[in-house]
Amino acid sequence: MKIDFRSDTVTVPGQGMFEAMMKAKVGDDVFGEDPSINELEGMTASMFGMEAALYCPSGTMTNQIAINCHTRPGDEVICDESSHVYQYEGGGIARNSGSSVKLLTGDRGRITADQVLAAINPDDPHRAWTRLVSLENTSNRGGGSCYDFNEIKKIGALCKEKNLGFHLDGARLWNALVAKQETPKQYGEVFDSISVCLSKSLGCPVGSLLLGKKEFIHRARRVRKAFGGGMRQAGFLAAAGIYALQHNIERLSDDHAHAKTIAASLEGKSFTEYVLPVETNIIIFQLKAGQSAPALVTKLKEYDIWAYAIAPDRVRLVLHLDITPEMVTKTVEVLSGM
């Protein structure tokens, strides 16, 4: 029994999702004629109370399109130093949009309004023009940490006052919504643009959506074409997204409970220095001095438990749709014996 905790992207469609995909009505989406994509975009936009949505192949693309629409070359983007938009998108902010970044040191990926205020450049010709603030919720490198929504509102108000764009990388926003009992509409009210992924915790094979005002998404659609993301009969994939929004959100609380169970069995182990607080579906633990993350990952693999060494001394486990209660039980047993 392979137990794959490397990422929540490893899921494969189950029977229900697969049948929905096979039955999808499709058309050419570059002509705006794919009924399944149109339905998914409309449904997601109304979930968030936002005007429009754009279906894209990846969360990297939705983030990068958003950054491109918010900025001009030479502008500056404020984000946490660990954020996906900076660390894991191939230098895309510079490559695609010619913008620079101002990196802040947040608390497990979360930055504050005070930090943002201090990071805004003065209106001085020497300085880059601060144009955009990008948050990540939940934070991947932060171990699935969630923002306090009041802080998000404060940053949102600051962005309005200073005329900055406000973007959310919500690859795993679904997990935050379930964990904190928040609503998508709360988020739609404060952000100018939101990226959400369907291929992470919701279990789709492919797909992300960018949300925003009509005019913003109109421009985003042009950028998507230029980035090579205009797909044709991709309604087969969008149908998986519709299925996931209807069936796979509430069950995320199971993943969160599983993560807490496994994290508890890691506490106090001879190799564990500490486990980052588990708020959602991600467990990150720090190893004691002298312990090697790749060696531990290799050892776990002997039991067919797959984990990911995110640093020489840090291991990550991610819970998802394809991890069953039996797999969690087996993992706890293996860890107890280690």
Ligand X SMILES: *Cc1c(COP(=O)(O)O)cnc(C)c1O
Contacting residues toward ligand X, per CB under 6 A: 58-60, 63, 84, 136, 140, 169, 171, 197, 199-200, 208
Judged by beta carbon, residue 171 or residue 265, the one nearer ligand X is: 171
Residue/partner pairs of 306-313 with CB below 8 Å, 24 or more apart? 306/2, 306/3, 306/4, 306/5, 306/6, 307/5, 307/6, 308/5, 308/6, 308/7, 310/141, 310/284, 313/286, 313/287, 313/289
DSSP 110: B
Judged by beta carbon, residue 265 or residue 281, the one nearer ligand X is: 281
Cβ 302 to ligand X, closest distance in Å? 28
| Token pair in block for residue 240 | 């998986």
Cβ 59 to ligand X, closest distance in Å? 2
- Cβ atoms of 174 and 246 within 8 Å: the answer is no
The residue with tokens 């609503």 is 183
Cβ 56 to ligand X, closest distance in Å? 9
The residue with tokens 């039991």 is 303
Judged by beta carbon, residue 58 or residue 253, the one nearer ligand X is: 58
- Provide the total of helices (H) and of strands (E) in the chain, helices listed first: 14, 13
Cβ 171 to ligand X, closest distance in Å? 3
Distance CA 24, CA 21 (A): 5
Distance CA 133, CA 317 (A): 29
Give SS3 for 13: coil
Cβ 137 to ligand X, closest distance in Å? 9
Judged by beta carbon, residue 152 or residue 171, the one nearer ligand X is: 171
Cβ 125 to ligand X, closest distance in Å? 34
Distance CA 30, CA 80 (A): 34
Judged by beta carbon, residue 59 or residue 184, the one nearer ligand X is: 59
Pairing of strands 314-318, 282-287: antiparallel
Instruction: Give the count of alpha carbons within 13 A of 337, CB side only.
Output: 8
Cβ 27 to ligand X, closest distance in Å? 24
- Cβ atoms of 138 and 114 within 8 Å: the answer is no
Judged by beta carbon, residue 171 or residue 296, the one nearer ligand X is: 171
Judged by beta carbon, residue 297 or residue 310, the one nearer ligand X is: 310
Cβ 290 to ligand X, closest distance in Å? 30
Q: What angle do CA 247, 251, 255 make, to 5 degrees?
A: 140
Judged by beta carbon, residue 54 or residue 272, the one nearer ligand X is: 54
State whether the Cα torsion 13-19-25-27 is positive or negative. positive
Biggest CA–CA distance in the chain, Å, is 62
Cβ 70 to ligand X, closest distance in Å? 16
Chain residue at closest Cβ approach to ligand X: 59
Judged by beta carbon, residue 171 or residue 244, the one nearer ligand X is: 171
Which residues, 6+ apart, have CB-to-CB distance to 26 below 8 Å? 34, 35, 36, 233, 234, 235, 236
The residue with tokens 């983030």 is 63
